[in-house]
Structure 1
C-alpha cells in the first residue's frame, strides 16, 4: 500500500490513559531498572539486619533513607505521568482525536490542540491490545487508539513505523 490512509477519528477512554501510565511506569521504572531495585533490596536487608541487632548508628539511618529513594522515584514518575496523561484526557471536551497518516508525518487534532510529528521524531512504539504508545523521547509518549483503524491502516502504519525504531508488542 503506497498511499497513506486518510483521516482517522479515534476515541479515547480514561481506562486507556490509566493503563498507558501503568505500563510505562512498570516497564521504564521497574523492569528497566532491575539493578536499582536489586541494590535497594540488598540495602533494605542490610538495614533490617543492623536494626535487628540493635545498631542505631547514623549510617544505618542514612542507608534507611537511601532505601526509600527508589520507591519515591517510582511514585514521582507515576504521579507526573498520571497527571499529564490522565489530565490531558480529562481536559478534552470530547475524548476523540483525528489522526492523519501523511507520507512524512503524523498529524493529530483534538479538542486540546493539534500537532504534526515527523515520522523520524518517533523513537519507539509499544503496541498494546487497544492502543499504541508512540514515543518521541524516552519518557515522552502519546497514545493512538486502534479500535477504529482497519487492518490495512494498521499494516501501513506498522510499515511506516518500523523503519529505524523499536516496535514492540507489549503484553498485559
Structure 2
C-alpha cells in the first residue's frame, strides 16, 4: 500500500505522513478529525501496529471522533465497498473509529486497470437518532399529572 501511494500516485492525493509510532499516527488522526471535521485515514500493521495504536484508538472511541483505520493480513475477501461502509459507520452516531482489513494478496498482484468504484450515493450516514413526537408529548405530560408525595426536597 505504501509503495502504491508513493510510487504510483506520487504521494500527492492522498499524501502520506510517516510517523515513528502507531499511537502517534492515530493521535494525529484524532486531532485532525476534531479540527477539520472530517476523518483522516491511518494505516497500521495488522498485528504489532494495531496493538501499538490501541490506547490512541481507545481515546478516539471515548471522544466519539470518526477515524478510518486500515490494516492488512493474509488472504481474506474484502470488497472495495468496505471502505465506504467504514466511512458511513465512522460518521454515524455515536461516531468513532472503524477498522478495515485489506487482503494482502490483492495488494501484491498487478492490476491492469483501477477497479470500478461503487455508487457513493448509496453510502450515507444515518440521521441522528431523535425521540418521537409522541414520546416527547408523553414526557411533557408526566409532571402535569404527578401527585404530591407530601415531602419537600
Interval of TM-score (by shorter of Structure 1 and Structure 2): under 0.3
- With CA pairs under 8 Å and 6+ residues apart, which has the higher RCO, 1 or 2? 1
Q: Larger radius of gyration, structure 1 or 2?
A: 2
Relative to the length of structure 2, the TM-score reads 0.27
Higher share in helix: 1
Higher share in strand: 1
